[in-house]
Amino acid sequence: MIERIPNLLRAHGIKPSHHRIKVYEYLVEKRNHPSVDMIYQELVQNIPTLSKTTVYNILNLFLEKGLAVMITIDENETRYDADTSLHGHFRCNNCQGIYDLRLDPAAWEWESLDGFEINESHLYFKGLCPECCH
């Protein structure tokens, strides 16, 4: 699993440095739609010299190379997701958790988009998750 990450990065035109591998590893293992700070706080424990700028640089590189997508469901901080497949998100306003929503691909086909060339699709819901509905 982990030994495949360097090849995956290379396949996307990214030289697999130690930091880049660790950031990608975080994304795929946690699957928690983290902010830059969440990634930084975790990785800095094992890489004491890590700079937050590096995390920004790496994530921007991932976005550019199509290895991750940006999620703007939180108004303050950008979140990131290594799952680049077409899916939606739900954020609970109580526990702040972010859930993946697997939706029928047919649901993403909108007739009113004729003539538009779509590069990104974002579907977000906010409210209360089942646990927080009590």
Partner DNA sequence: TTCATTTTTGTAATCATTCTAAATTTATAC
Partner DNA sequence: GTATAAATTTAGAATGATTACAAAAATGAA
Binding region for its own copies (CB under 8 A): 70, 72-73, 75, 78, 88, 90, 93, 99, 101-103, 107, 110, 112-113, 115-130, 133
Q: Which does 47 bind (CB under 5 to 8 A by kind): DNA, its own copies, none?
A: DNA
Q: What region does 96 belong to: left with phi over 0, alpha with psi -120 to 50, or beta?
A: left
15 interacts with DNA by CB under 7 A: yes
Distance set, CA 44 to CA 13, 48, 101 (Å): 26, 5, 31
Least distance to DNA, CB of residue 47, Å:
6
When the beta carbons of 69 and 82 are compared against its own copies, the nearer one is 69
C-alpha closest to that of 26 among 13, 11, 38, 14: 38
How many residues belong to the site for DNA (CB under 7 A)?
23
Number of residues written out for the chain: 134
When the beta carbons of 7 and 60 are compared against its own copies, the nearer one is 60
CB 26 within 8 A of CB 39: yes
Distance (Å, rounded) from C-alpha 88 to C-alpha 98? 10
C-alpha closest to that of 125 among 102, 107, 98: 98
- Residue from 25, 42, 78, 129 touching DNA (CB under 7 A): that is 78
When the beta carbons of 31 and 52 are compared against DNA, the nearer one is 52
When the beta carbons of 43 and 98 are compared against its own copies, the nearer one is 98
Distance of CA 134 to the CA centre of its chain: 28
Give residues in contact with DNA (CB under 7 A). 14-15, 17-20, 35-37, 47, 49-54, 56-58, 60, 76-78
